[in-house]
Amino acid sequence: MLQNAIQIGSLTLKNRLVMPPMATGKSYNGRVTEDLIAYYRDRAQFSAPGLIILEHAFITPAGRASAGQLSIADDGCIAGLTELVEAIHQAGSAVIAQLNHAGSGAEPETPGVNLSASAVPSPRKAELGTPREMTAEEIHETVAAFARAAERAVKAGCDGVEIHSAHSYLLNQFYSPLTNHRTDEYGVQTMENRLRFHLETIAAVRKVVGPAVPIALRLGGADYLPGGSTEEDAVEACRLFEAAGVDLIDLSGGMCGYVRPEHPEPGYFATMSEKVKAAVHTPVLVTGGVKTIADAEALLAADKADLIGVGRALYRDAHWLENA
């Protein structure tokens, strides 16, 4: 099943193997480097994933997660991204750019008070201090920044874009009850309110990329922490994303990051992805702990997801497919 083609919106993938976004720190001042190009080219060439989702790129300097992070925050990024995308395409894989704002987890070049849904420290980067609650105007400005970043990705030749709302970053901070204590229209009173920022971002991105470019959304669907978001929340959220026109749902962890405590088994987010897949028609991608081809095939055969992400194993070994 892993070698079966699949349709993501207007994009046909040659197989169901996905290289998910993983930060490499190989960019320089946010720009694409030869080292970064070689890293992706080798994995496309030797392990042949149908889709590579690029590591998260910051949409504005204030939302930069780390010094070595890739940028998509200005038009000067387009030339390098174009070269990167062309190298991956030549090696045979489709490419989606992941767009992100780190929110309370940001480490911008000019330190200052970080922004978040509420004045609650990042559960994963509490050392950065207490952020300031975003105003509605700042939310609207950030929505526009996501749209401009998506437009740059398309200009660079990307086959699609992914909006990042996982691993305790900004949009995930609005989704999670642990970090969203607002009482306005972006608060936690209803799922629609928790996702209002997301839905406005999806609409703005769709407006600039047009109807044919696939939009993916990576959701940290469950925090797996007391009082946090749940797998049932993820099902409700993904129904709304499907209605909003998202073409691919990419599931991972929320405030727990990209790991699930006490669950080392292959596909450790599959209990969530199985529930979401049963509730939507949009293709579902799950990543987490998959190390072998047999792991991936078993998850597909059990109807846990439509696509399987192989993360750390591919990160460590460009020849994973040959060695697996």
Cα angle 88, 312, 106 (rounded to 5 degrees) comes to 85
| Residue-range domain boundaries for the chain | 34-323
| C-beta neighbour count of 239 within 10 angstroms | 15
Homologous superfamily assigned to 34-323: Aldolase class I (3.20.20.70)
Active-site positions? 169
Where do runs of H (alpha helix) occur along the chain? 34-47, 78-91, 136-155, 170-175, 191-194, 196-209, 231-243, 270-279, 293-301, 312-316, 320-323
Q: If you write DSSP's letter for every residue of 76-114 in order, what string do you get?
A: GGHHHHHHHHHHHHHHT-EEEEEEE--GGG---SS----
SS3 label, residue 61: helix
Q: Are 48 and 15 in contact (CB under 8 A)?
A: yes
Q: What is the pLDDT along the chain (324 residues), one digit of tens a residue?
A: 999 999 999 999 999 999 999 999 999 999 999 999 999 999 999 999 999 999 999 999 999 999 999 999 999 999 999 999 999 999 999 999 999 999 999 998 767 789 999 999 988 888 889 999 999 999 999 999 999 999 999 999 999 999 999 999 999 999 999 999 999 999 999 999 999 999 999 999 999 999 999 999 999 999 999 999 999 999 999 999 999 999 999 999 999 999 998 898 999 999 999 999 999 999 999 999 999 999 999 999 999 999 999 999 999 999 999 887
Nearest to 311 by CA among 273, 263, 259: 259
pLDDT of residue 77: 98
What pLDDT was estimated at residue 323? 86
**Residue 87: CA atoms inside 13 Å, Cβ hemisphere, count?**
19
pLDDT given for residue 109 in this prediction: 74
